[in-house]
Amino acid sequence: MKKQRICVIGGTGFVGTHLVHRLAALGHSVTLTTRRPERHREFRLHDSVRVVKINPYDSVALQTLLTGHDCVINLAGILNETGNSSFQTVHAELPRIIVKAMRESGVSRLLHMSALNANVNESHSRYLKSKGQGEDLVQQQAGLRVTSFRPSVIFGPGDSFFNRFATLLRLAPPVFPLACAGSRFAPVFVGDVVEAFVVAIDDERTVGQRLELCGPKIYTLQQLVQYTAQQIGKRTRVVGIPDFMARLQGHALGLVPGKPFSIDNYYSLQKDSVCSVSALSSLGIDAHSVECMVPAYLADRHTRAQYDRYRASARREV
Ligand SMILES: NC(=O)c1ccc[n+]([C@@H]2O[C@H](COP(=O)([O-])OP(=O)(O)OC[C@H]3O[C@@H](n4cnc5c(N)ncnc54)[C@H](OP(=O)(O)O)[C@@H]3O)[C@@H](O)[C@H]2O)c1
């Protein structure tokens, strides 16, 4: 494996943190861009990681920064829009700025993070539509060597799927009403996603490909949330709510700060997030299962919950 100079954009979040640590461990030299370096001091542990404050929408600054790199990885993405970040800006406009800056700085290799079901013709979910727009745009760049990645939901330490449901379940009554309970997923482990990026960096066979990434098993959302409850030691019963209530929930919770669920999330969940063919095995990666990995990072809380129940029953007995 050749050591590369890699610029990671959007690499300070969940997937990026795992990826940047792995790239550094493999001896690559990493430039990590962020809008807020003061929040990401943990990357200073690596001599080979340089954290750079930049406005990624400033094409001139980006072009200057990219000069001398071998590869760009774009992970920037949002799940919900906020006042100053729209899906269109982050998922479609930013990729356009990145490919322009790559051309002008002479960098030709791009690994681009999209999402399963991303589709420019998607009529309802603006998340999936904008992701599809950005992916099509980068794949259509003649002269650039582009690989895009289309994962189902990604899980692992620090994820916002199992961890978020665990938080909600801890606060929930004994019956937990769940929107879109029948939607199906093939959750993919973050370590496997990271390995897919690592392999693709210098695997020319992946150039021009849109790689779907899925874990080994398919579950409904209800099964995954019920499993989370088990893991944290809650006896909560997870029940699906009718479609009209799910829509209402999307509209209502979309107004709550932090948007725990939005109408765009509702639309994204109308299509199963499962692969036609997962690329992991063709990349030589054995996919890890939910059952194998999740208990390890929800376990501490599970143990604590068991201990809390024991303490509570012991107090009742005194
Ligand atoms: N997690 C999943 O289950 C999943 C599934 C499918 C696809 N994906 C895709 O995978 C990528 C990484 O996901 P993640 O879970 O690691 O996300 P994350 O933890 O939310 O991190 C997102 C990254 O995007 C950057 N970012 C956020 N808002 C931005 C904006 N307005 N303009 C420019 N950059 C912005 C942030 O960089 P700063 O340091 O500058 O804030 C951060 O590093 C995303 O593209 C996501 O759509 C994720």
Summarize pLDDT for 166-213 with one digit per residue, the tens: 999 999 999 999 999 999 999 999 999 999 999 999 999 999 999 999
Q: What is the largest CA-CA distance in the chain?
A: 75
All structural domains of the chain with their residue ranges: 5-151, 160-187+215-274+290-318
Query: Residue 36 CA: which ligand 1 atom is closest?
Result: 39
Residue 312 Cα to ligand 1 midpoint, Å, equals: 40
Question: What's the mean pLDDT in 19-26?
Answer: 97
Residue 148 Cα to ligand 1 midpoint, Å, equals: 15
- CA separation (Å) from 83 to 131, 157, 160? 19, 29, 21
Quick one: how far is CA 195 from the chain centroid?
14
Q: Is 10 in the pocket of ligand 1 (CB under 6 A)?
A: yes
Query: Residue 161 CA: which ligand 1 atom is closest?
Result: 3
Q: Is 90:100 a contact under the CB 8 Å cutoff?
A: no
Query: Residue 82 CA: which ligand 1 atom is closest?
Result: 31
pLDDT beyond 50 at 318: no
The answer as to CATH 3.90.25 being correct for domain 160-187+215-274+290-318 is yes
Residue 14 Cα to ligand 1 midpoint, Å, equals: 8
Per residue in 66-96, is it b (16+ CB within 10 Å) or e — as a string? beebbbbbbbbbbeebeeeeebebbbbbbbe
In this prediction, residue 307 has a pLDDT band, given cuts at 50, 70 and 90, of very low
Ligand 1, atom 35: closest residue by C-alpha: 76
- Would you say the CATH fold of 160-187+215-274+290-318 matches that of 5-151? no
Give me the pLDDT at residue 312, please: 57
Question: What's the mean pLDDT in 262-267?
Answer: 96
Question: What's the mean pLDDT in 301-308?
Answer: 52
* Ligand 1 pocket, mutate which of 30, 35, 159, 213 (most atoms under 8 A from CB): 35
Give me the pLDDT at residue 258, please: 84
- CA separation (Å) from 153 to 2, 283, 285? 30, 19, 17
Q: How far apart are CA 96 and CA 102, in angstroms?
A: 10
Question: What's the mean pLDDT in 278-302?
Answer: 90
Q: How far apart are CA 42 and CA 38, in angstroms?
A: 10
Q: Is 78 in the pocket of ligand 1 (CB under 6 A)?
A: yes
Question: What's the mean pLDDT in 1-30?
Answer: 96
Query: Who contacts 248 (Cβ-Cβ below 8 Å, separation ≥6)?
Result: none
Residue 187 Cα to ligand 1 midpoint, Å, equals: 17
In this prediction, residue 314 has a pLDDT band, given cuts at 50, 70 and 90, of low
Residue 91 Cα to ligand 1 midpoint, Å, equals: 10
74 forms beta bridges with: 9, 112
In percent, how much of the chain has pLDDT > 70?
A: 94
Query: Who contacts 211 (Cβ-Cβ below 8 Å, separation ≥6)?
Result: 147, 148, 149, 150, 196, 200, 279, 283
pLDDT beyond 90 at 226: yes
**Pairing label, strands 175-178, 154-155:** unpaired
Give me the pLDDT at residue 32, please: 97
pLDDT beyond 50 at 107: yes
Give me the pLDDT at residue 80, please: 92
pLDDT beyond 90 at 223: yes
Residue 45 Cα to ligand 1 midpoint, Å, equals: 22
Q: How far apart are CA 121 and CA 224, in angstroms?
A: 29
Q: How far apart are CA 20 and CA 123, in angstroms?
A: 35
Q: How does the average pLDDT of the chain come out, rounded?
A: 93
Summarize pLDDT for 75-106 with one digit per residue, the tens: 999 999 988 899 999 999 999 999 999 999 99
Give me the pLDDT at residue 301, please: 57
Question: What's the mean pLDDT in 101-123?
Answer: 97
In this prediction, residue 44 has a pLDDT band, given cuts at 50, 70 and 90, of confident
Give me the pLDDT at residue 2, please: 87
Sequence length of the chain is 318
pLDDT beyond 60 at 316: no
Give me the pLDDT at residue 303, please: 52
pTM listed for this prediction: 0.94
Q: Is 154 in the pocket of ligand 1 (CB under 6 A)?
A: yes
* Ligand 1 pocket, mutate which of 34, 78, 97 (most atoms under 8 A from CB): 78
Under CATH, what is the fold of the domain 5-151? Answer: Rossmann fold (3.40.50)
Question: What's the mean pLDDT in 112-117?
Answer: 98
Q: Distance between terminal CA atoms of the chain?
A: 64
Ligand 1, atom 18: closest residue by C-alpha: 13
